[in-house]
Chains A and B, each alone.
Chain A
Amino acid sequence: MTTYLIRNAQILGGSPQDIHLVDGAFAAIGENLDVPADIEIDATGLVALPGLVDLHTHLREPGREDAETVLTGTRSAAMGGYTAVHAMANTFPVADTAGVVEQVWRLGQEYGYCDVQPVGAVTVGLEGKQLAELGAMHDSAAGVRVFSDDGKCVDDAVIMRRALEYVKAFDGVVAQHAQEPRLTAGAQMNEGLVSGELGLGGWPAVAEESIIARDVLLAAHVGSRVHICHLSTAGSVEIVRWAKAKGWDVTAEVTPHHLLLTDELVRSYDPVYKVNPPLRTAADVEALREALADGTIDAVATDHAPHPAEDKDCEWAVAAMGMVGLETALSVVQQTMVDTGLLNWEGVADRMSHRPARIGRLTGHGRPISVGEPANLVLFDPAYRGVVNPETFATRSRNSPYKGMDLPGRVHATFLRGEATVLAGELVER
């Protein structure tokens, strides 16, 4: 196995140190290390973070390989600094059986760009009617711990209650896509000033908040943990803050796009800004940033949602919802959280690696950068400035809302258990 000596990396933004990677682990960390290595990397000016963990990725395989595959998606993840991603269950067929989750998990292992941890569907076919075989998915080689009907809300209160209870048997967690379906029938964008002017069907904040309120109460009642996907409103933040203050086991994630973009962008009617939950207002963005900074929101999760060109190159109403995000996540977090002084690099490591790994119960990820730990690592250049060009992305799809924007920072290298997946900003072919 190739050994690496990384020179002068700022671990979590600290003072420059050398890092020695041997046999998949951190072998030595210190100043001016005098150790042999196959490859030496000058990391002067680069920040070293633990390999990032995404709780919310759509890899689209099986079924929509025209949008993304496990291979292209994990290459995209590696380029973004990720060493583990949670693959959402809304594939075709749905990941609601042990067979499907094992297939996705094995593909990830085979390609080796990033660990793929499948998320199992809560209900059969994401229909919200009958529990999927959650235990079988947990007991499979994929070892599923996170269950979600993402894209659809588990809106039936009884089904949600049972799911929350049932997964306690194997320390699982239900990740809820909070969207009251009756309040969002025909919804096209955030309900507010802009939707009224544009004549687009509104997706009101209360449709998210009412489900979150119900689910934190349910989780408390049955003594389970619950995770809230892509929380997007100031009101949702207040509810999660309240639930945490009660001591309930509630966690939440926010997407990079909800930290940066607002519904004002929809005025262009360009479907690249169409996403679910929708882009909200500047006040919501402000609340989400504060909540991520103070820990009310535990994790940044990309909700990376690739779509083929024809599903976005059309009128707003028929366009697909979602944005690609793996390769821009860390840059957006730098711009919105680090450069604004809300979070330091230690905080970024916590929200993008440690806590998401803990929520997903991934034992080999989100570990500290210290001797003996698995060498999952990203080297990030925060001084870089560049214009986002989706044509250069590793993902198969191009639906990035950041196209043409100036974003700071770039991933220089990513290591998965000591093996480089990205070096000098380029994918390492495997």
Chain B
Amino acid sequence: MKRHLVSAADLSRDDALLILDTAEELAQLSGRAVKKLPTLRGRTVVNLFFEDSTRTKTSFEVAEKRLSADVINFSAKGSSVSKGESLKDTALTLQAMGADAVVIRHHASGAPARLADSDWLHGSVINAGDGTHEHPTQALLDAFTMRRHLNPGAGRDLAGRKVAIVGDILHSRVARSNVHLLTTLGAEVTFVAPPTLLPIGIETWPCQVSYDLDAVLPKVDAVMMLRVQRERMNAAFFPTEREYSRRYGLNGLRLATMPEHAIVMHPGPMVRGMEITADVADSPRCTVVEQVANGVSVRMAVLYLLLGGAVFADGSADSARTTELLEAAQ
């Protein structure tokens, strides 16, 4: 690694642990009165969002500001993009404006890869979710959250931990990024979904597949519930919302069958009453809010490592420098 973060599959175990460890250090910031580091002062980061996303965009923006970057929000709505400007011309414009990094969210799978592989712009490309392909920083924050609960400590991975990812795997960029990263970190992933919501060829992925949520839950260390969009019902992926909820929703009874230490995760936004009941969503075992906070730390780490200079070039952790910066900020 790498100038870009396009796919979680591009991350080696060392890369991933470096990001998680750096994020742990940066997380200390959030407890302070002054939550800012001067690391990216004078660097320009563009949030290029072709798709509405309040959560992810806000999270990146907070991360960028805490690192003192100059932040430009470039939203497709109301800009020349909505008037038919191409991705290429948008990228050329951002390049001309001197973007050091572009955080891109796009409805088309592969758009960040196109930006990274093109000569349209020279800054780092960070994938903030592309179509039904990947969402690597979501996977990083999920792994960060799991590690804190299941195997805390710098340099540790998720070896042997069992993670179930439940719901619309077919259309989920979160599931794709997670299966890559969790496998890299040694976790054992099981996808749970009705057969209609699993991609063709799933049997070749590095994970187990089950159609039976009840059989999986007693063995998990973490269960990740994915949002299921109601409109999928109209395309006959499942018969009714109630049937989906009965077979694949997480309710209090099902939660009780999980090991006591196991956590419930959700990338948000949740559809209460569909894939998760309110009592589970509000239970102390549910890490949804924690995930949001961790998202900021992880995105800071990614920006810091991609833009911070020497750290990623040789692949070695420079925690001394991080500590130095943290001290300077006090």
Contact = CB atoms under 8 A, between A and B. Distances in A.
A36 interface: no
Contacts of A198: 109-110, 133
Contacts, number: 73
B87 A196 contact: no
Contacts of A269: 109-111, 113-114, 117
Contacts of B173: 199
Contact of B176 (A188, A193, A197): A197
Given A313-B86, A314-B87, A317-B131, A196 B201 contact: yes
**Size bracket, chain A contacts:** 20 to 34
B200 A195 contact: yes
A90 to B, nearest CB: 23
B160 interface: no
Nearest to A271: B114
Given A199-B132, A199-B134, A313-B86, A193 B113 contact: no
B88 A196 contact: no
A198 B110 CA distance: 8
Given A199-B133, A199-B134, A199-B173, A268 B106 contact: no
Given A197-B176, A199-B131, A317 B108 contact: yes
A136 B27 CA distance: 76
A156 interface: no
Contact of B110 (A204, A310, A315): A315
B204 to A, nearest CB: 6
Interface centre among B110, B131, B201, B202 (most CB of A within 10 A): B110
A197 to B, nearest CB: 7
B199 A315 contact: no
Interface in B34-59: none
A80 to B, nearest CB: 30
Interface in A200-240: 200, 202, 204
A318 interface: yes
A356 B49 CA distance: 50
Contacts of B109: 188, 198-200, 269, 316-317
A192 B199 CA distance: 8
Contact of A314 (B86, B131, B134, B199): B86
Contacts of B110: 198, 200, 269, 315-317
A310 B87 CA distance: 10
A315 B200 contact: no
Interface in B239-289: none
B106 A315 contact: yes
Contact of B199 (A196, A268, A316, A317): A196
Interface string B148-177: 000000000000000000000000010010
A316 B201 contact: no
A192 B201 contact: yes
Contacts of A315: 87, 106, 108, 110-111, 114
A86 B86 CA distance: 33
B178 to A, nearest CB: 13
B112 to A, nearest CB: 9
B108 A195 contact: no
A180 interface: no
Interface string B98-137: 0000000011111101100100000000000011111000
B244 to A, nearest CB: 21
Nearest to A310: B86
A253 interface: no
Contact of B107 (A192, A195, A202, A317): A317
A316 B114 contact: yes
A310 B88 CA distance: 9
Contacts of B200: 191-193, 195-196, 202, 204
B201 A318 contact: no
Given A198-B110, A269-B113, A193 B131 contact: no
Contacts of A202: 199-200
A316 B204 contact: no
Contacts of B202: 196
A199 B176 contact: yes
Contact of B117 (A188, A197, A268, A317): A268
A188 to B, nearest CB: 8
A316 B205 CA distance: 23
Contacts of A314: 86-88, 114
B204 A193 contact: yes
Nearest to B116: A269
Interface in A288-313: 310, 313
A233 to B, nearest CB: 14
Contacts of B114: 269-270, 314-316
Contacts of A313: 86, 88
A146 to B, nearest CB: 34
B252 to A, nearest CB: 33
B111 to A, nearest CB: 4
Nearest to B86: A314
A425 to B, nearest CB: 32
A199 B134 CA distance: 8
Nearest to B109: A199
B82 to A, nearest CB: 14
Interface in A229-283: 268-270
Contacts of B204: 193
Nearest to B180: A197
A314 B88 CA distance: 6
Interface string A170-195: 00000000000000000010011101
A314 to B, nearest CB: 5
B88 to A, nearest CB: 6
Contacts of B131: 199-200, 317
* Residue of A192, A198, A200 with most partner-chain B CB within 10 A: A198
A193 B202 CA distance: 7
A199 B107 CA distance: 11
5 closest A-B pairs by CB: A196-B199, A269-B110, A199-B133, A199-B132, A317-B108
Interface of A: 188, 191-193, 195-200, 202, 204, 268-270, 310, 313-318
19 contacts: A192-B201, A193-B201, A193-B204, A195-B199, A195-B200, A197-B199, A199-B109, A199-B130, A199-B133, A200-B109, A200-B110, A200-B133, A269-B111, A269-B117, A310-B86, A314-B86, A314-B87, A315-B87, A316-B110
Given A195-B200, A310-B86, 8 more contacts: A195-B199, A196-B199, A197-B201, A199-B130, A199-B176, A315-B87, A316-B108, A317-B108
